[in-house]
Amino acid sequence: MSREIWTAVDDYFDGALLPSDPALDAALTAAEDAGLPPIGVTPNLGRTLQFLARLQGARRILEVGTLGGYSTIWLARALPEDGRLITLEVDPEHAAVARGSIENAGLAKVVDVRLGPALETLPEIAAEGLGPFDMVFIDADKSANADYFAWAVELSRPGTLIVVDNVVRQGRVVASGDDDPNVMGVRRLVDAVEAEPRVTAVALQTVGRKGYDGFLMALVEDV
């Protein structure tokens, strides 16, 4: 099995189950035209996140890592009319592209794009009393995953779902001696989740056009 067949399978299911969407397609084009790195979620994961948010009955969503706003649009579309999504982005250019795509999708009144390092923005969100959130999606610099997770728990309620993307790292997460900061960040995250008595968690491995990876889901049981 190879990425070629994984991509072909992704294309097959996307073609059958995920019809072209003008706003989402435009968000991908805007990100590519602006030279943003091609590291956003796939359409399949985008819809998975949307399903999870809908199953949660989410009214308030927190996203750590906006990039071009593609995953933001998927998540925001799961919200009711009076729902709110706060998304955090450290790069001004990424935030500008995301704001344009979010506005183009008709979601500017629902989504609040906050610029700045997330570990500075998260305490501000807590101080403003904007939680608890019903769902948190973490897809930012992996070296700080454990810190983002700790804040996600603090900004949660019993029943909040926390999703962390890119935790398998092509299997490198179990490669002894691999001291890549992203791999080490995932391991610190797993240690933090294991040591956190207020959550129950599971990790799922995935394959697709972006290769071999996976995501972790944690359900907050107590706060």
Residue 150's CATH number: 3.40.50.150
**Do 123 and 108 touch, CB atoms closer than 8 A?**
no
**The model's pTM:** 0.96
Q: What is the mean pLDDT of residues 69-81?
A: 97
Count of other CB atoms within 10 angstroms of residue 93: 12
Predicted pLDDT of residue 178: 86
Q: What is the mean pLDDT of residues 63-82?
A: 97
Contacts of 88 (CB under 8 A, 6+ apart): 62, 63, 64, 65, 66, 114, 116, 118, 121, 122, 140
User: What is the rounded CA–CA span in Å between residue 142 and residue 183?
Assistant: 8
Q: What is the mean pLDDT of residues 21-39?
A: 97
Residues 112-132: tens digit of each pLDDT: 999 999 999 999 999 999 999
Quick one: tokens of 115?
Answer: 């610029």
- Burial class (CB within 10 angstroms; exposed 0-12, middle 13-18, buried 19+) of 96: middle
pLDDT at residue 157 tops 80? yes
pLDDT at residue 1 tops 80? no
What percent of the chain stands above pLDDT 90? 96
Q: What are phi and psi of 183, to 5 degrees?
A: -65, -45
Domain that holds residue 15: 3-220
Strand partners, 85: 61, 111
What percent of the chain stands above pLDDT 70? 100
Count of other CB atoms within 10 angstroms of residue 92: 10
Count of other CB atoms within 10 angstroms of residue 101: 24
Residue position matching structure tokens 């490669």: 175
Residues 177-207: tens digit of each pLDDT: 888 999 999 999 999 999 999 999 999 999 9
Average pLDDT over the chain, rounded to whole? 96
Predicted pLDDT of residue 176: 84
Beta 211-220 vs 60-64: how paired, if at all?
Answer: unpaired
Written as one letter, the residue type at 9 is V
**Do 7 and 26 touch, CB atoms closer than 8 A?**
no
User: What is the rounded CA–CA span in Å between residue 65 and residue 188?
Assistant: 19
Number of structural domains (the chain) is 1
pLDDT at residue 2 tops 80? yes
pLDDT band at 223 (very low <50, low <70, confident <90, very high): confident
